[in-house]
Amino acid sequence: MRDKALILHIAVLAVLAGAQWVLPDYHHTNAARIMLLAVYAMGYNLLLGYTGLMSLGHAMFFAAGMYATGLSVYYWEFSAAAAFVFGIAGAALYALIFGSFALRTRGVSFLIVTMMFGQATYLTILYCNTVTLGDQGFTLAKHLPAYWAQPAVKYNLALAAFTVALLLCLAVVRSPFGRVLVAIRENEDRARLLGYNTYAYKLAALVFSAVLAGAAGGAYALVFSYVGASFAATLHSISPLLWSLLGGAGTTLGPLLGTGLMYYLIDLTSSITYAYLFVVGLVLLALVLFFPQGILGFVRGKFLPWLP
């Protein structure tokens, strides 16, 4: 079963690697963006789908990685690699500090705390506009090598980030650590009675989730040479929730599928009507009614029980 799952994931990566040679320019750029946003959704999915923790402020970790990366390039002339590592470290540290006390709450209380901190992060970015340049953001094109703007470079950087994130997630969810996270999701009290320190496991899951979100934010800043406050807004926290639910929360490939479908659904409907959110809402309603476990969750339940 494990071999089937690994082969499937490698096949998906091979398709993405080969797609860059046949995609038109417009979809070439979209695919790079979707892969990076899927990394963000993977981090969220690890928290929601495998640990059972729902957050409405996850954009703060995406923004932490994005701004730590972008500001270090913009002001301190860090290399892209050094800035990326700095961004990941910034998101991880932020999650460690936040999670050390936020995880003492549960359920709705945790949801509210994440939303409050997410909004506080967004407002801090706006108020510190002398450094962050506020809601207008800033670009990094002049601070990165000229070849960085080439479409092939952008695509392959996004693909590299996605590849590492996907294989890492696959390894984590199939490890004993991942099994404990699922146990916590199903019944935290029973997991605690079995001797597991559920607080420590949830904190580790939150930090790992933030590392993926921060990596996505840092890579997004470098690949698309832009850093903006909108990426810290509440709407950007809701997006990975929708992507995970659409593709299948608790599945490793669900975030990619959900991100791609939602991205093109919005792209297509917004070109036809101003009421595109109404169409998106209908799709989500249909999802809840007919595919409550998401698309890949449905496929796993009916046809492929070995899907991780």
Residue 96 CA to its chain's centroid (Å):
17
Whether residue 2 has pLDDT greater than 70:
no
What ranges do the domains of the chain cover?
22-233
pLDDT digits (tens, 9 = 90+) for 123-180: 999 999 999 998 889 999 899 888 888 889 999 999 999 999 999 999 999 999 999 9
Structure tokens at 177: 């650590």
Q: How far apart are alpha carbons 102 and 106 in whole angstroms?
A: 9
pLDDT digits (tens, 9 = 90+) for 66-109: 999 999 999 999 999 999 999 999 999 999 999 998 998 888 89
Structure tokens at 152: 């092939």
What count of other Cβ atoms lies within 10 Å of the Cβ of residue 233? 20
Whether residue 303 has pLDDT greater than 90:
no
Q: pLDDT value at position 7?
A: 93
Q: Residue 280: exposed, middle, or buried by beta-carbon count in 10 A (0-12, 13-18, 19+)?
A: middle
Record the pTM: 0.95
Q: Which residue has the higher pLDDT, 269 or 89?
A: 89
Provide DSSP, 4-31.
HHHHHHHHHHHHHHHHTTTS-HHHHHHH
Q: pLDDT value at position 51?
A: 94
Q: What is the Cβ-side half-sphere exposure of residue 286, based on CA atoms within 13 angstroms?
A: 7
Nearest residue to 57 (alpha-carbon basis) of 109, 100, 111: 111
Structure tokens at 164: 């590492």
Phi, psi of 52 (to 5 degrees): 85, 20
Q: Is 220 helix (H, G, I), strand (E, B) or coil?
A: helix
Average pLDDT, the chain: 93
